[in-house]
Structure 1
Amino acid sequence: MRKGQQTREYIIGKAARLFNRQGYRGSAISDIMEETGLRKGGIYNHFSSKDELAFEAFDYAVNVLKERYMKAIEGKESRVDQLISLFSIYNNIVEDPPLEGGCPLLNTAVDSDDTHPELKQKAQAAMNRWYDLVRMIIRSGIKKGEFRDDLDIEPVVTYLTATFEGGVMLSKLYGDSGYMQQTFRQMKAYILKELVK
């Protein structure tokens, strides 16, 4: 990899963590300079604008999450185990977050809601991919006879996702992974009681 590409990726990784902690609006170019140790010109040599950097940083953050999701379900034959494992990735969010600052989908959705339509669209697209993954696991589990075949999948996916993100938010707000762990236990109980055949 060429030095210019290495520098670009370094900036993206640092910016992803900064934006995830402080938000897009809460992060100035001076913060990015401090985080990377680069001058303004060094950053703008690789990115035409703060927006371009924010879009790439968001994609990087989502990729970090995707890798953690895939690792969580890797090697699990049962779709029930896959679904439960998928929601376990934030169990130690305070001590070992997939990405410093919490969930980039949640953070970006809140940060960009009424202020940055393009970032909001990126967050929606990423959430759609998350929904697709959860749907795929549930549909596959129905076909394999692991989940009830009369499930109404959309409300299940929405409930699990909203509960999951609520646990993330509470743990981040109070700096205590116990909120997420309690949420996860309840989600696991729901999956085993309400979804499993």
Structure 2
Amino acid sequence: MKQGEQTRNTIIKAANKLFYQQGFHQTAFSDIVKEVGLSKGNITYHFKSKDDILQAVLQRRMQKTQETLDLWDTQYLDAKERLICFINSLQEGKSDLTQYGCPNGTLASELGKSNALTRELSKHVFDLIRHWLTDQFLALGFPADQANEKALELFTRGQGICVLSHVYSDENMFTNEVNHLKQMIND
């Protein structure tokens, strides 16, 4: 990887972390400079504005989401196993999800009302997950309309778990609700 590409990736990774933990509006450009450890000039060489960094962060999230879903498709032959893997990924992220909420959900909520591009890019990330979930239910033999409903139910319940456990700062609530999701899949 070339130095410029590596620097760009470092900036995106740092901004992703800050946008998730602090929110986009609460993250100043100077926070990104401090987190990366580069001068403002080095960062503005790669990104002219914080909005440009945001677009790169959302593109990276989309790419990482697709890579994860593709990995699960190759690692697990059974659709039920893939759905359980999806639910387990929520449980594995329990601490961060309880502390900060869903990275995509919180950013979409924060910026979705005022930033059409952010809303559209967030929708693409959500669509990747939703369509993948639908494919899993189709593979389990559900008719298309039911597969879509089940996928939407699982996805919205997962998002709801993230929101409520974050609001209540309650990891036990998170774990209990994730276990309900697993029961939903196993029934």
Match of 1:88 in 2: 88
Contact 1:61 1:104 in 2 (8 A): no
Matching residue of 1:52: 52
Which residue of structure 2 lines up, in the alignment, with residue 145 of structure 1?
A: none
Q: Which amino acid aligns with 2:123?
A: Q
The one-character-per-residue Cα deviations of 1:75-105 (angstroms, maximum 9, x if unpaired) are: 32221121122122020324476xx944222
Q: Distance in 1 between the 2:108 and 2:181 partners?
A: 23
Provide the alpha-carbon RMSD of the alignment.
Answer: 2.3
2:120 is matched with: 121
| 1:131-142 alignment runs, 5 A limit | 131-142=130-141
Match of 1:77 in 2: 77
Give a deviation string over 1:123-155, Cα, whole Å, max 9, x none.
Answer: 01111111111111111221xxxxx45862222
Instruction: Indicate the residue corresponding to 1:177 in structure 2.
Output: 171
Equivalent AA in structure 2 for residue 85 of structure 1: C
Q: 1:172 to 1:93 in 2, by over 3 A?
A: farther
More helix by share: 2
8 Å CA contact retained: 1:94, 1:176: no
Amino acid at match of 1:136: D
Bigger mean CA offset, 167-176 vs 82-91? 167-176
Identical amino acids, percent of aligned pairs:
23
Residue of structure 2 in register with 1:107 after alignment: 106
Superposed counterparts of 1:146-165, under 5 Å: 148-149=142-143, 152-165=146-159
Counterpart of 1:6 in structure 2: which amino acid?
Answer: Q
The 1:182–1:127 alpha-carbon spacing in structure 2 relative to 1, beyond 3 Å, is: same
Where in structure 1 are there 5+ consecutive unaligned residues?
Answer: 143-147
Question: 1:16-66 CA deviation, whole Å, 9 max, x = no partner?
Answer: 111111222221111111211222211101112211110111222343444
Instruction: Return the alpha-carbon distance in structure 2 between the equivalents of residues 69 and 92 of structure 1.
Output: 16
For residue 192 of structure 1, report the CA deviation from its aligned partner: 2.4
TM-score of the superposed pair, with normalisation by structure 1: 0.82
Kindly state the Cα deviation for residue 178 of structure 1 after the two structures are TM-superposed.
2.3
Letter in 2 for 1:39: S
- CA contact 1:73–1:85 (8 Å) conserved in 2: no
Q: Is the 8 A contact 1:92 1:181 kept in 2?
A: no
Whole-Å Cα distance in 1 between the matches of residues 144 and 126 of structure 2? 25
In the superposition, relative to structure 1, how do residues 170 and 71 fare at CA in structure 2: closer, same or farther (>3 Å)? Answer: farther
Distance apart, 1:121 and its partner CA? 0.7
Change (3 A) 1:20 1:137: same
1:24-43 equivalences in 2 (<5 Å): 24-43=24-43
Change (3 A) 1:126 1:150: closer
The Cα shift of 1:162 comes to 0.8
Matched, 1:22 2:19: no
111-120 vs 166-175, which moves further: 166-175
Structure 1 residues 41 and 80: CA distance shift in structure 2, 3 A: same
C-alpha contact 1:131 1:157 (8 A) present in aligned 2: yes
Q: Which amino acid aligns with 1:86?
A: F
